[in-house]
Structure 1
Amino acid sequence: MSQIKILETISETPYSRVSFCYLNNVKAVLKTKKEAIITNSIATELKIHQFLNKYDLCPEILDYDLLNNRIIYEYIEYPVENSEYNQVFLEILGKALSKLHSLNYKTLAVDTFEEKIESYRNILSTSNAIEIQESFALFDKLYKNRRKLTFCHNDLSPMNVFFDEKLKFIDWEYAGLNLPIYEIALIKKSFKFSSDQLNIFLKAYGQDFNPSEIEEFEVLVGFVEKIWQKVTNKLKSNQ
């Protein structure tokens, strides 16, 4: 039987808690799911890790307990948060994201981003706030003519990207099928890329995107962040 010793909490949201731990005397990371109303279940996250593991895009799963809603994955160092985004890093990030977006996801049962947004819309259905209405209106406009969907992380902030000898993505709570340009815009916004940094990143990614369209999706990313906070507050008030 595995022996787990919890050390300290790294992060906590209404939906999950992430902690450093020792698994059989080996330092690791423990994630415990608390709520999965608007996030992927722990079983789905496990399947995503197992799917991505052969592509070396995420930490290795060391242990899991679906009954108690927890997974334990390998401890990795060097988050890129607060790092300088030099050309080497930007090129590696661009290539890694391109690799993620090119995967054949047909065997992976995950929600689309549109389905996730619809769940937000349902939770906030009684809200008359203009900002919320404008947010959903922009989403409807940009997703009206659906283009090719790819498998996306959907929450690639610097704290979810680790880079030592290899680059790996963590925290797949919101992963699903989405338009790749949304993830491009999200990364540009969360990493605060300059125009030059964005160009290096996109060149490594290997596909051109209309700059004005990226900016429009970047506005949507900001709206989605606010919607997520409204949804979180609403769910907490209903508890």
Structure 2
Amino acid sequence: MKAMRSVAERANTIPGEFVLRKNLATSPISEIYLCTLNNIKAVVRFDAPCASMLAIHRANEVIVLNSIQDLQLSPRVLYHNQLEGVLIWKFIAGEEFSFDLAHQRESYLQSLGKGLKLIHSQATPPECLDIFSNSLSLYQSLLQEAPSKSLVERAFSLYEALSNDGSNYVLSHNDLNRSNLLWCNKVYFLDWEYSGPNHPCFDIASLAKTYNLMPAEIAYLADGYDGDHELFKIDTLNQWMQFISYLDEIWEIAVTTIQAQLKIKID
């Protein structure tokens, strides 16, 4: 297997005046840096080899981001090169979304619910791929051995039961954790690599799980969302959160499995 080019080598392929600066994060999937592109403060993501073996699709991510730019809730893409695994977006100043002070919780959660509703109300681009379903299929193929197979079966059985409730699928972020939410007078949603159609409860339950929301706080989120309160039923969201816990565990096992496969191919 041909090794992916280094960060420095790929940085040299970026047109214009590009300056690589501080490393912000490193994961099995990518390396993220602060940078400037043509004197614009930006963030660049360089894919790791593991990313190419997941069901994510970088061109799809750009399609989604471009389709929701008018909402002003997400980064603006400045440059992308799918072959080199490079994506650059304009830097957004802010801090991790939180509500440490009690008086902030209601207004922050309503703002978060309002932002999520805007995304869910946006038309899914016709060319958008179903990254979520594709990811589930990949995990199922990778995790064929017990006990992982049993975990996948439990998770998929629960997802099928939850998702077949007659709700329309919506454009969803599909990865709403703390690191992907930024606050700067309003909420911004970052890292759209898993975005695509999904049941609206997946994003809602992801927020409830990420912030360990109590029923009263979920009600604030629902007020901001200003939609079908059936989506915010506590018992239903608890089941969705259980599915998300399964999925987090499955993702970790899948990435570890892919890394092992890559090592064998390179060796």
Query: Who is 2:106 aligned against?
Result: 87
Amino acid aligned to 2:44: L
Q: Say whether 1:2 aligns with 2:21.
A: no
For 1:119 and 1:204, locate their aligned partners in 2 and report how far apart those are by CA, in whole Å.
35
Amino acid aligned to 2:84: N
Amino acid aligned to 1:40: I
Q: TM-score normalized by structure 2? A: 0.82
CA distance 1:82–1:89, change in 2 (3 Å): closer
Gaps of 5+ in 2: 1-14, 263-267
Q: Say whether 1:21 aligns with 2:35.
A: yes
Q: TM-score normalized by structure 1? A: 0.91
Q: Say whether 1:220 aligns with 2:243.
A: yes
Query: Who is 1:45 aligned against?
Result: 61
Query: Does the aligned pair in 2 maintain the 1:110–1:176 contact within 8 Å?
Result: yes
Q: Say whether 1:232 aligns with 2:255.
A: yes
What is the Cα deviation at residue 65 of structure 1? 2.7
For 2:47 and 2:35, locate their aligned partners in 1 and report how far apart those are by CA, in whole Å.
16
Query: Does the aligned pair in 2 maintain the 1:33–1:42 contact within 8 Å?
Result: no
Query: Who is 1:61 aligned against?
Result: 77
Query: Who is 1:154 aligned against?
Result: 174
What is the Cα deviation at residue 13 of structure 1? 2.2
Query: Who is 2:10 aligned against?
Result: none
CA distance 1:131–1:68, change in 2 (3 Å): closer
For 1:182 and 1:158, locate their aligned partners in 2 and report how far apart those are by CA, in whole Å.
15
Amino acid aligned to 1:101: H
State which drifts further: 39-48 or 215-224.
Answer: 39-48
Alpha carbon RMSD of aligned pairs, Å?
Answer: 1.9
Q: Say whether 1:141 aligns with 2:157.
A: no
What is the Cα deviation at residue 112 of structure 1? 5.1
State which drifts further: 62-71 or 27-36.
Answer: 62-71
For 2:25 and 2:63, locate their aligned partners in 1 and report how far apart those are by CA, in whole Å.
22
CA distance 1:177–1:112, change in 2 (3 Å): farther
State which drifts further: 26-35 or 153-162.
Answer: 26-35
**Higher helix fraction: Structure 1 or Structure 2?**
2
Name the SS of the counterpart of 1:173 in structure 2: coil
Query: Does the aligned pair in 1 maintain the 2:140–2:152 contact within 8 Å?
Result: no
Gaps of 5+ in 1: none
State which drifts further: 129-138 or 10-19.
Answer: 129-138
Name the SS of the counterpart of 1:238 in structure 2: helix
Identity %: 22
Number of residues of Structure 1 aligned to a counterpart in Structure 2: 239
Q: Of the candidates 85, 109, 123, which is equivalent to residue 104 of structure 1? A: 123
What is the Cα deviation at residue 107 of structure 1? 2.3
Name the SS of the counterpart of 1:31 in structure 2: strand
For 1:4 and 1:83, locate their aligned partners in 2 and report how far apart those are by CA, in whole Å.
36
Query: Does the aligned pair in 2 maintain the 1:101–1:152 contact within 8 Å?
Result: yes
For 2:160 and 2:30, locate their aligned partners in 1 and report how far apart those are by CA, in whole Å.
29
Query: Does the aligned pair in 1 maintain the 2:94–2:184 contact within 8 Å?
Result: yes
Query: Who is 1:71 aligned against?
Result: 87
What is the Cα deviation at residue 226 of structure 1? 0.3
Query: Does the aligned pair in 1 maintain the 2:56–2:135 contact within 8 Å?
Result: no
What is the Cα deviation at residue 110 of structure 1? 1.7
For 1:198 and 1:6, locate their aligned partners in 2 and report how far apart those are by CA, in whole Å.
41
State which drifts further: 143-152 or 91-100.
Answer: 143-152
Query: Does the aligned pair in 2 maintain the 1:79–1:158 contact within 8 Å?
Result: no
CA distance 1:79–1:36, change in 2 (3 Å): farther
For 2:135 and 2:213, locate their aligned partners in 1 and report how far apart those are by CA, in whole Å.
27
